[in-house]
Amino acid sequence: MKKFRIEHDSMGTVQVPADKYWGAQTERSRNNFRIGKEKMPREIITAFGYLKKAAALVNNALIPQKMTAEKCACICTACDEVISGALDEHFPLFVWQTGSGTQSNMNVNEVIANRANEMAEKKLCHPNDDVNMSTSSNDTFPTAMHVAAVFALEDALFPALDALVHTFKKLEKENEGVIKSGRTHLQDAVPISFSQEISGWRSSLEKDKELIALALPPLKQLALGGTAVGTGLNAPKTFDVRVAAQIAALTGKQFVSAQNKFHALTSKDELVFAHGALKALASDLLKIANDVRFLASGPRCGLGEITIPENEPGSSIMPGKVNPTQCEAVTMVAVQVMANDVAVGMGASQGNFELNAFMPVIAYNFLQSVRLLSDAIASFNDNCVAGIAANKEKMHSNLYNSLMLVTALSPHIGYENAAKTSQKAHAEHMSLKDACVQLGFLTADQFDTVFHPEKMAHPHD
């Protein structure tokens, strides 16, 4: 039989599972918000561990008569366990709860307090009076959002992006001098080298990283110290600056106190801006994945200009079929990120007076986007891009079959005559050379002198 203990809060007593560290407010939320399956992201809980430890240390320095050394030591040890993930089972709450994240803040407070009391072997710490000292849900949750976002971007997304960029650089070097037909509007265009095409993919990702990096300094400004409405009520003087510095010391990230706490509590513009850059990355990834799967289409009836790894059977009915599944996964992730951007933007627009009450859904969507992008990029790199190989024979065949090579003739015979040459070659299924000579625009020798498709990709060399 499941055992319970009695916990109490300002509304009365509540039965709580005896083997869990959470308290009455967590249990009320667990019972009152049975909505969906989406739990508060692990990244948010980790961020809470850092900020609660930082708050305890600063409170001990500023008001040691309240935050005694004994309390501080026990709270800090419990926070370390939260950060490590050792207490993950004690954070059961869903995203769909109060829009301020108060219940998740209290979940953290209760778990840390009860774990601290267990270590002290006495009733040493109170969730509100001690673990929540000098803070409010209204400044802790925005702080946790920013800390979690910075960790996710710097420690998960950027390494994945860097690895993919490195792979593209390697492919560029391997494919220098491989000339192929370019394409615009899904139609044949003038020649391009395969390394140039790859460089476009690589540069897009590098630019996306630069844009995301621009969003990091604002995200490193923390709301903690604003307490309930931004005034800093019930927090000691200098708490905000010192606690931000303490979080920076604990995390190794350059966090600082937000200059205007009234803004920090109610506006989520930093997250909107950062997610906009994530949407830009998603857009580029979708384009790159589409390029790869179109270039690899076939194997006999498509473009077939590159080959990609064959990772698994592609059809339950067509034997031997292999599909560009890694590309498809990337494009689905990109669509999800674009959808998440709508939720982040809409949630941020709903701040009222001194608080935004859509923070859990903003945090959930933002962190999901970063997690999906990080994982998808790593998978795409390892299981697809690293194995891309040029089909040089097919590229050469398509290049010399392209009517848009006629562009090289324009400076010599004029645009209109070049167009007539192309139209004749297409209509009568002949080469550009034969069409040009038959039309009398150039002799065969003159044509050979000016017509060099491989040089068209490097016109200034």
Instruction: For residue range 201-229, list pLDDT tens digits in order.
Output: 999 999 999 999 999 999 999 999 999 99
55, burial (CB in 10 Å: exposed 0-12, middle 13-18, buried 19+): buried
pLDDT tens for residues 161-170? Answer: 999 999 999 9
Q: Active site residue: 8, 166, 203, 315, which one?
A: 315
- In the residue annotation, 315 being an active-site residue is answered as yes
Q: Radius of gyration (Cα) for the chain, nearest Å?
A: 30
**CA-CA distances (angstroms) from residue 350 to 57, 153, 345, 355, 392?**
34, 25, 9, 9, 55
pLDDT at residue 122 tops 80: yes
Over pLDDT 90: what percentage of the chain?
Answer: 99
Using pLDDT thresholds of 50, 70 and 90, give the confidence band for residue 238: very high
For the stretch 202-224, what's the b/e string if a residue is b when 16 or more beta carbons lie within 10 angstroms of its beta carbon?
A: bebbeebbeebeebbeebbbbbb
Contact 87, 114 (CB under 8 A): no
Using pLDDT thresholds of 50, 70 and 90, give the confidence band for residue 386: very high
* Predicted local confidence at residue 383, as pLDDT: 98
Hey, what are 266's tokens?
A: 């109610």
Sign of the alpha-carbon dihedral angle for 150, 152, 153, 158: positive
DSSP per-residue string spanning 152-168: IIIIIIHHHHHHHHHHH
Mean pLDDT for the chain overall: 97
Contact 417, 439 (CB under 8 A): yes
pLDDT at residue 121 tops 90: yes
Contact 32, 93 (CB under 8 A): no
pLDDT tens for residues 343-373? Answer: 999 999 999 999 999 999 999 999 999 999 9
pLDDT tens for residues 415-461? Answer: 999 999 999 999 999 999 999 999 999 999 999 999 999 999 999 98
DSSP per-residue string spanning 410-439: HHHH-HHHHHHHHHHHHHTT--HHHHHHHT
pLDDT tens for residues 10-45? Answer: 999 999 999 999 999 999 999 999 999 999 999 999
Using pLDDT thresholds of 50, 70 and 90, give the confidence band for residue 1: confident
| Mean pLDDT on 387-407 | 96
Neighbouring C-alpha atoms within 13 Å toward the C-beta of 271: 38
* Predicted local confidence at residue 2, as pLDDT: 85
- In the residue annotation, 181 being an active-site residue is answered as no
Q: How far apart are CA 95 and CA 82, in angstroms?
A: 19
Q: Active site residue: 185, 316, 429, 460, which one?
A: 185
pLDDT at residue 277 tops 90: yes
Is pTM beyond 0.75? Reply is yes
* Predicted local confidence at residue 461, as pLDDT: 87
| Mean pLDDT on 315-333 | 96
pLDDT at residue 334 tops 80: yes
Q: How far apart are CA 244 and CA 256, in angstroms?
A: 5
Among 401, 171, 406, 403, which residue's Cα sits nearest to residue 291? 171
| Mean pLDDT on 58-70 | 98
